[in-house]
Amino acid sequence: VAKTTRIYLASDFHAAEKTWRKFLNAIKLNVYKADIALVAGDFTGKAIVPIVENGGTYSAELFGVHRRAGSAEELAALERDIADVGYYSVVTSAEETDRLATDPAARDELLHRLMNERMEQWMALATERLGGGQVPLYVIPGNDDDFGIDPIIDNDAYFPQNADGRVLDIPGDLQLLAYGWSNNTPWDTPREVTEDELFERLDALAAQVRDPRRAVFMIHVPPHDSGLDTAPLLDENLRPTVSAGDVLRGPVGSTAVRRVIEKHQPLLGIHGHIHESGGERRIGQTLCINPGSEANHGILRGYLVDIGPSGIERALRVEG
Amino acid sequence: MAEMAESGTGRRLFVRQSSGLVRDVSVTNALFFNIAAFVGVGLTLYPIFYSLGFVPVWTYGPFSEYGWAAIITGLFCCVLAFIFASFTSVMPRSGGDYVFTSRILHPFLGWMESWTLIIASVLIIAFEVPLVLRNLQITARIVGIGAGGHFFNHANTWFTDSTGGITGSPGFIGSLVVLAIIAGVVLLPTRTFHKVVTALAIFGVACFVAMFVFGLLATSRGDFEHNLPQYTGGVTAAKIGATGHAAFLPGASHHFLSDLFSRSVFPFMLSILLFQYIGFQYSAYIAGEVRGNVRRSVMIALLGALVVGVLANSVYVDLISKHLGFETNVSWGASYWGFNSNLTALPLGQPNAMPLMGVIANKTLWPIWALISLGGTVFPFLLCPVYINFISRMQLAWSLDRQLPTWFGEVSERLRAPVNAILATLALCALFAFFQSYNALPHFLATTGNKLNLAGTAWFSITMAILTWTMPGVNAILVRFRRPDLMRNAPFRGALPWLGIVWLVFPVWVYVFAVIKPIWDSLTASGASRLTYLETNGILDAAIFYALGVVIYAVMQLRSRAAGVDTGMLFAEIPPD
């Protein structure tokens, strides 16, 4: 291997339109001079904002602020604003909004549809902007992503490659082990297993790796007690515990991921999941990185990692 | 599939249950955070701040000049609260001003603003630590006055050197012990840390209330004036008050508006109030965790803290001071700072702490006064770990942005905290405590005894805080041009430039006439005392730290470049479309 390979990684976009567009442009415009791009999971959003139509005007509430649109252009701007913060919007009537409020199944169905629509749009946009380019984009779903998006990111017509549950050869004489599931969380998200099960799956994948010192383990959930997994400690009502004006925090990562990293000592660990715990830490010989996420604020957080013949040359946090 | 639920606000948002992005700091918590960050020694020692500006203190209506300055500063700070509410709604980040300025204007300005804020904060800690020792002495004196006992009656000799100064060797050792205890608190596991801080803060707030109630209802001026001479070797309250007439007590304001727009007196008082208020905005730095409507929550927390700050620095201190003798309080405080040449012997050898005056007026309640005084010890102590915690967050942000070596911000696996950053902060505090205690500064930095005095430390801190107070206004004016993408949906986005201008008027006025003009006057003066003002007010020390900030930034840029790090990439703004 003669040259340095630069990996550009980000995670946890959570349906934030603007940040995803920035990410694609960062690759397309060669802002970071990356050779490989990676996304460590969690594409889908968390909420729907109903836009209520009433006599040709549209109204919605975004972050406690009442918004009104009186024309098609203003409606489009409102929808884009809602999408930029990672919410889904639906134009509906007051009656339908009331019905949704009392019908969990209908909300569930609507959310599925909106998630899949956004994912289709994103994969299409990625293909439009990056197709034919020199920078491969490997992605995985995260624990928050419903299984409905899998066929979309698996679609060969789209440029991004779904690396979930696989070990792939990637440029730079490197291998990528990728896995989007997490340990059990209080939230009962779609892709969760017990720590033992997670370890077995990851260990089996790691056995396929030729040389861990030339391997990148992209696992959505960070290793337990690594400093990359510090999140608010929750009470029995899933509310963060607060004291003296500050949220009490603790490690919520996976012990299975930590065990796999300690056992196999890959060159690089790439994680996401805990948005507020971005940073870089060493576990043995492995440099583990969580870029963190502020996607819902329109801020694109990422990391650049330069890997040369003798290992990692530098890691640099970037923000766009 | 995760369950969906309505938001608490009705049918405006349907939220699904999922992990991440948890925001649940309540308004009360944020308000409490702000209050804990700015009260400090004021709880019992507010009256000494009347004279810290070394300018005449007039009265008008129900308030002193200091009280009016507190009200006016508070009103302007409301504008700053609006600016912060807007910024934090769209950039709710750890790192506060550093993040805002580095992203809106330039990383260098963000670095300088936060570097100078941290030095200002460290100076405030250095200012507070000896006052913790002072408050211990005062508490013991209160016990001595109430219950007697040689040990307590001679508490003035605790932590003091042969000159009686608390900043000599014994004081320095005492300060190191206090810093060690602060370090012990800061490095506690998170849960324990918050329990300790909460318990101490509740005690401090209870003391605030007790001082106000008992200070007004259980004492009388007559009793205070009658009893005082037996503790001051016969010096009466009237005599103490009279010593300040020439320099500090011009009496009532005859031209209120003219006095407010004075360019030689009132700006100094305003700058003291900015020194007192720094910290009211700190919850804006944890806005990422504030739940619900961030704008509304941050506004309530900041404005609520301002209300407390204004009341504490006007109604609270003025009522108690007037109740026991305003002129006595001003002159006594000036004597503590060493400004009152007509009262060289400090009454009781202590500053005019409110519970100390309380025990003089009403000896039978000495346990209550002692408890309140202990609260006066606890609050400045409490401020220190809160500051260090906040400082370490900012240092961590620097480290991640390569403004400092990465090892500096490394988080200890065991302690779950950026230990190197915390230790560096404590070391800097110890360094300032050292320079306050020993004649170790070169003559050109400190002509008076070659050491940094407490008033000098306060002014040093005020000078270091220029960027902290001014950059939010500049950011508010320029953000729509520099980061339109971030501000497209910001609250008050249309009004932000005007808010920025209105706010800037205030710190610019204060700093021009309270800091820059005196510096200019000093530099253009003739004679040997040309640099005296700069030396005795920490201005030269501040200049050194400003220069040091520039040097560190330049070195880190070169270092990053040598390591192949393109720092230009760090903040490259990427267009979404």
pLDDT of residue B448: 65
Q: Give the span between the Cα atoms of B281 and B279, in whole angstroms.
A: 5
pLDDT tens digits, residue range B425-470?
A: 888 888 888 888 888 777 766 666 677 776 777 778 888 889 999 9
Q: Do A240 and B15 touch (CB under 8 A)?
A: no
pLDDT tens digits, residue range A95-116?
A: 998 888 888 899 889 999 999 9
| Residue B293 distance to chain A (closest CA, Å) | 5
CA dihedral B504, B395, B87, B288 (to 10 degrees): -150
Measured in residues, chain A has a length of: 320
Per-range mean pLDDT, top range of A226-230, B242-246, B351-355, B433-437: B351-355
pLDDT of residue B10: 44
User: Are the beta carbons of B334 and B244 closer than 8 angstroms?
Assistant: yes
Q: Which of A296-300, B54-58, B96-100, B156-160 has the lowest mean pLDDT?
A: B96-100
Residue B354 has pLDDT above 90, yes or no: yes
Beta-strand pair A192-193/A182-183:
parallel
Task: Tell whether pTM > 0.80.
Answer: no
% residues pLDDT > 90 (chain A): 71
pLDDT of residue A224: 93
Closest by alpha carbon to B403, among A229, A6, A316? A316
Residue B243 has pLDDT above 60, yes or no: yes
Please name the member of B20, B402, B489 whose beta carbon is closest to the beta carbon of A275: B20
Collect all residues of chain B within an 8 Å Cβ-Cβ radius of residue A187: 2, 17-19
Please name the member of A61, A186, A320 whose beta carbon is closest to the beta carbon of B573: A320
The yes/no answer to whether this complex scores an ipTM above 0.90 is no
Average pLDDT of A86-91?
93
User: In terms of C-beta density within 10 A (0-12 exposed, 13-18 middle, 19 or more buried), how is residue B361 classed?
Assistant: buried
CA–CA distances in Å: residue A282 to residues A4, A223, A262, A288, B560: 21, 11, 10, 6, 20
Under the banding of pLDDT at 50, 70 and 90, the label for residue B484 is: confident
- Within 20-79 of A, beta carbons closer than 8 Å to B belong to 21-22, 25-26, 29, 31-32, 42, 46-50, 60-65
- According to DSSP, the residues that pair with A169 across neighbouring strands are A175
| Residue B461 distance to chain A (closest CA, Å) | 25
Per-range mean pLDDT, top range of A258-272, B7-21, B301-315, B424-438: A258-272
Please give the structure tokens belonging to residue A71: 């024309």
3-class SS letters over B113-143 = HHHHHHHHHHHHHHHHHHHHHHHHHHHHHHH
| Residue A273 distance to chain B (closest CA, Å) | 7
| Residue A24 distance to chain B (closest CA, Å) | 8
pLDDT tens digits, residue range B216-238?
A: 999 999 999 999 999 998 999 99
B310 C-beta neighbours (distance < 10 Å), count: 23
3-state helix, strand, coil in chain A (%, to 5): 30, 35, 35
User: Within a 13 Å sphere around the CA of B265, how many CA atoms are in the beta-carbon half?
Assistant: 21
Closest by alpha carbon to B95, among B81, B80, B79, B113? B113
Collect all residues of chain A within an 8 Å Cβ-Cβ radius of residue B34: 245
Q: Do A32 and B569 touch (CB under 8 A)?
A: yes
pLDDT tens digits, residue range B182-209?
A: 888 877 766 677 677 777 778 888 898 9
Collect all residues of chain B within an 8 Å Cβ-Cβ radius of residue A22: 574-576
Residue A206's identity, in one-letter code, is: A
| Residue B491 distance to chain A (closest CA, Å) | 9
Please name the member of B18, B197, B411 whose beta carbon is closest to the beta carbon of A144: B18
User: In terms of C-beta density within 10 A (0-12 exposed, 13-18 middle, 19 or more buried), how is residue B92 classed?
Assistant: buried
Residue A211 has pLDDT above 80, yes or no: yes
Testing the interface with B: which of A13, A98, A185, A246 to mutate, by most B Cβ within 10 A? A246
